[in-house]
Structure 1
Amino acid sequence: MPETWDYTLQIPNDLRAVTICRRTLRLILTMHGLIGLVDTAELLATELVSNAVRHTKGPAALRVRRSAEGVVWIGAWDADPEPPQPPQPLERVGEREDGRGLGLVVACTKYWGWMPSARFGERGKYVWCELAAA
């Protein structure tokens, strides 16, 4: 049975926090022997966390956990309870920097979604995705 763990990094509404989340995620996965997931996980976390910071005004959080089934779950919480904008197909977004976030998540993972959440004393939502840890 795989080792289970759960980390949450609370961040301010500051785009510099995206880099801190990405580096923290790399360290977590490396320390748990999941280096093969790092590149994809960093891309997914960057998109989820940057959406949380760019499109909301309050604090945010990165959550990373591994289930007993060996699935790595990456989620970004933000204080806005409104659902995220539907993902745009990557071919429609092209080379633009904006509007591709959830499209990349959809392209890189089989399972993703969002759910309302009351976390850290505030209403909000989690946008999450799963990666299979081989």
Structure 2
Amino acid sequence: MSIAGTCAMNGLSLHERPSDAAGSWRIALPHSAAAVPVARALVRTALAELKHVADSDTAELLTAELVANAVEHTSGDAPIELVVELRPTGCRIEVHDPDPTPPGDLTRPSGAEPDPWQEHGRGLLLVRALSSSCGHRVTEQGKAVWFRLAAVPPQRGPRPT
């Protein structure tokens, strides 16, 4: 199924601007836990449709973390926005939410080890560790939290003999 078909099926807003080697999508997601699997599916579909060279599993995981944080740590029912930009050099994914408060520990680790017995507290650590860069910026409606993944070099196979 195409990314447009996935969005239509889920009643989501999609603005698509594809080009030769890149694409850009801005998608409004519901302010609920249901947004997490939809966001993962949209990122997976976008990367697969364009045969993009960024690591899809990592992109899905980090997207899920940012969307889950946006849903959990912001109040109200304003939609969460997912922005996916695919470029030949990698991808950039942003999650917009209505709260301008910066995400804690995104660009600077707190120094404290996450409690292994707690369910929460590792999401931003994963974003920092697995992305090539990450950050946040204030927007007119709140903030955008983003990460970049560099393109994965093609795997080299054995040399023909």
More helix by share: 1
Indicate how the Cα distance of structure 1 residues 26 and 62 shifts in structure 2: closer, same or farther if over 3 A, else same. same
Aligned residues: 128
Greater RCO (CA < 8 Å, at least 6 residues apart): 1
Instruction: Tell me the residue number matched to 2:85.
Output: 65
Task: Give the structure-1-normalised TM-score.
Answer: 0.85
Structure 2: unaligned runs, 5 residues or longer:
1-19, 153-161
Q: CA RMSD in A?
A: 2.0
TM-score normalised per structure 2: 0.72
Q: Is the 8 A contact 2:98 2:142 kept in 1?
A: yes
Check the 8 A contact 1:77/1:127 in 2, yes or no. Answer: yes
Within 1, Cα distance between the matches of 2:120 and 2:133?
22
Provide the residue aligned with 2:65 in structure 1: 47
- State whether structure 2 residue 141 is matched by structure 1 residue 130: no
Q: For residues 65-87 of structure 1, give each alpha carbon's deviation from its aligned partner in whole angstroms, at most 9, with x where no partner exists.
A: 023x5220011100001111114
Does 1:114 pair with 2:133? no
Residue 110 of structure 1: CA displacement? 2.4
The answer on whether the counterparts of 1:72 and 1:130 sit within 8 Å (CA) in structure 2 is yes
Larger C-alpha radius of gyration, 1 or 2? Answer: 2
Cα distance in 2, alignment partners of residues 78 and 29 from structure 1: 23
Task: Determine if contact 2:114/2:121 at 8 Å carries over to the other structure.
Answer: no
> 2:55 & 2:147 partners in 1: Cα distance?
13
User: Counterpart of 1:23?
Assistant: 41
Give SS of 2:114's match: helix
Between the aligned partners of 1:106 and 1:96, the Cα distance in structure 2 is 19
- What secondary structure does 1:40 align onto? helix
Indicate conservation of the 8 Å contact 2:54/2:90, yes or no. no
Relative to structure 1, is the Cα distance of residues 90 and 72 closer, same or farther in structure 2, using a 3 angstrom cutoff?
Answer: farther
